[in-house]
Amino acid sequence: MAQPDICPHCGQPIVPAGLALPAIKARIYEAVRRRPGISAETLRGIVWDDPSGGPDCRHTIYVHIYQTNRILAPHGLKIRFQNGYRIRSAS
């Protein structure tokens, strides 16, 4: 597993250049990157920006985070809940 570079300003791991995430996973990653500590409910509202708020099942966001983590893991990254969602080093 690779070790990610760490941003000297914010202390968050930096996603490797060229990492391709599917659209929903990319929105999740970007929202967490831009707003460390984001709540699941706020994240859900950002990811599904339609008037209905997205899928009826609130657990859908957790499934997408799990799937995103499987893509990020080989790059030494993960999204974890710690006083809100944050990007962390997988080690």
CATH of 5-89, one of 3.40.30, 1.10.3720, 1.20.1740, 1.10.10: 1.10.10
Domain map (residue ranges) of the chain: 5-89
The total of other beta-carbon atoms located within 10 Å of residue 64's CB is: 20
CA dist., res. 30 & res. 85, Å (int): 12
Q: Is the pLDDT of residue 18 over 80?
A: no
Q: Are 78 and 88 in contact (CB under 8 A)?
A: yes
Q: Say what the pTM is.
A: 0.80
Write a three-state SS string for 20-75.
CCCHHHHHHHHHHHHCCCECHHHHHHHHCCCCCCCCCCCCHHHHHHHHHHHHHHHH
pLDDT tens digits for range 49-91:
765 556 767 788 999 999 999 999 988 889 999 899 999 888 7
